[in-house]
Amino acid sequence: MRLLNIENSGASDRVFQAVSESLQKSPFSFQGARILSGQEEGAFGWVTVNYLDDRLKQGLETTGALDLGGASTQISFISDSFDGSESPANSVAFRLYGNDYNLYTHSFLCYGKDQVLRMALAHQTQSGPESILDPCFHNGYSKIKNYTELYNSPCVSDRKPTSANQVFTHTGKGNFYQCQEVVKSVFDVSKCKYSQCSFNGIFQPILQGPFGAFSAYYFVMNFLNLTDTSVPLQSVKEALARHCATPWDTIKKQHPEIKEKYLSEYCFSGTYILTLLTEGYNFTAESYSSIKFIKKIKGSDAGWTLGYMLNLTNMIPAEAPDTPLLPHAGYVSVVTIIALVLFALFILSLRPLWPRCSQKPEIV
Ligand SMILES: Nc1ncnc2c1ncn2[C@@H]1O[C@H](COP(=O)(O)OP(=O)(O)OP(=O)(O)O)[C@@H](O)[C@H]1O
């Protein structure tokens, strides 16, 4: 919706009109609809992950959130080296259960996997060729694609070759290492006006803590059987290289149940994920193992939606609920002792009424 709003705000307004009309007729208490900002998408994804993991209530070390969508991607985490001052635009302050958090978050519009695929194809079709041999697609893959459709997105529209035909033939050659080079071209790491950056001149503090990677991170790595991050990064790359080198016919025969569009793109998407994590966000062979590819936490989907709802309904209090001074057993003991003391005092207060024992003189 953020992209559509840039590209065609009239179309985006019409989507909201239709959504609003439909939800007004539903039994839900519809309060309105709006486009979520990238910063909100990142921050609410982080809230979801940490709420479901029970880390906020207990004030434990938090988990960073990595979200990969079709159009954008978000990274959000707490870093001791970040107080928000170096790049206020990347800072979101929360007070949850009595703890203050200064969250670093950034949303990269156009860096979701579908838009990055467009950028990678744009990179390979700059001269407007009739066909390209793409290392990110399997050997034997061949499809006629339309230039107008490919460049019909604000992420690439300014790069449309002027002297192109209507269509080009997109063929694959299945080479992970060459694909990595193509994918690297979407990251600009040449400029940084801060102490440190991820890419495209965006500030990023030192990575810290465990990370949960969800949405398309999970869909892709799960298909590739690469969700186990205790496997060394080098072995992960080798496994992906074998997948990319598998001919398209073999891939289709092995996975007849999977949508062809998804199937054809796993080599590209896997390469993009590894390149984004290492070249983009600066994860190393060591810190790669701190990432967990997740779909659900305790039965709930990881994603921004739950975090948004928790925030909207004030379900996460800013202050910790009052904790009793004593545990239950302590209260029972204190009440019992007080009751015994009161009882003893009561008995003593009746002393004047106690019968006097008359002492008779002893007769010798
Ligand atoms: N099983 C799957 N295998 C591969 N890709 C998938 C699968 N299921 C969904 N996807 C793709 O994963 C991407 C992320 O999906 P999701 O619905 O989380 O994001 P989105 O809402 O499109 O993201 P954005 O926030 O960028 O708009 C989309 O491109 C979607 O087409």
Compute the half-sphere exposure of residue 231: CA atoms within 13 Å on the CB side of its CA: 13
Alpha carbon distance 242, 174 (integer Å):
9
Residue-wise burial string across 230-245, b where 16 or more C-beta atoms lie within 10 A, e elsewhere: eeebeebbebbbebbe
Q: Is 71 in the pocket of ligand 1 (CB under 6 A)?
A: yes
Residue 241, annotated as binding a ligand: no
Alpha carbon distance 64, 50 (integer Å):
8
Residue nearest to atom 12 of ligand 1 (CA): 216
**CA trace torsion 280, 293, 306, 90 (10° rounding):** -20
- Ligand 1 centre to CA of 238 (Å) is 25
Q: Is 216 in the pocket of ligand 1 (CB under 6 A)?
A: yes
> What pLDDT shows up at residue 350?
81
Question: Is the predicted pLDDT of residue 364 greater than 50, yes or no?
Answer: no
Residue nearest to atom 14 of ligand 1 (CA): 69
What average pLDDT is seen over the chain?
A: 93
Question: Is the predicted pLDDT of residue 165 greater than 90, yes or no?
Answer: no
> What pLDDT shows up at residue 299?
92
- Ligand 1 centre to CA of 41 (Å) is 14
Q: Is 301 in the pocket of ligand 1 (CB under 6 A)?
A: no
Residue 70, annotated as binding a ligand: yes
Can you tell me the mean pLDDT for 120-138? 97
CATH 3.30.420.150 domain locations along the chain: 38-113+177-245+258-312
Residue nearest to atom 23 of ligand 1 (CA): 69
Portion of the chain with pLDDT greater than 70, in percent: 94
Per-residue pLDDT reduced to its tens digit, 212-241: 999 999 999 999 999 999 999 999 999 999
What tokens appear for 272 in the block? Answer: 């993009």
- Ligand 1 centre to CA of 182 (Å) is 22
β-pair type (167-172, 142-146): antiparallel
Q: Is 215 in the pocket of ligand 1 (CB under 6 A)?
A: yes
Between residues 73 and 363, the one the model is more confident about: 73
* Interface predicted TM-score of the whole assembly (ipTM), two decimals: 0.96
Between residues 359 and 291, the one the model is more confident about: 291
Per-residue pLDDT reduced to its tens digit, 284-336: 999 999 999 999 999 999 999 999 999 888 888 888 876 655 666 666 777 78
3 state SS of 316: coil
Catalytic residues: 41
Per-residue pLDDT reduced to its tens digit, 329-356: 666 777 788 888 888 888 888 877 776 6
The top-level CATH class assigned to 38-113+177-245+258-312 is alpha beta
What tokens appear for 217 in the block? Answer: 């991170």
Ligand 1: nearest atom to the Cα of 68 = 14
Between residues 362 and 34, the one the model is more confident about: 34
What tokens appear for 184 in the block? Answer: 């690297």
Reported as type and span, the H/E element at residue 100 is strand 99-109
Residue 162, annotated as binding a ligand: no
Instruction: Identify the band that residue 193 occupies on the pLDDT scale cut at 50, 70 and 90.
Output: very high
Q: Which of 73, 153, 215 to mutate to test the pocket of ligand 1 (most atoms within 8 A of CB)?
A: 215
Q: Smallest Cα–Cα separation from 66: which of 227, 273, 232?
A: 273
Per-residue pLDDT reduced to its tens digit, 236-280: 999 999 999 999 999 999 999 999 999 999 999 999 999 999 999
Estimate the crossing angle of helix 113-124 against helix 176-184, to 10 degrees: 90
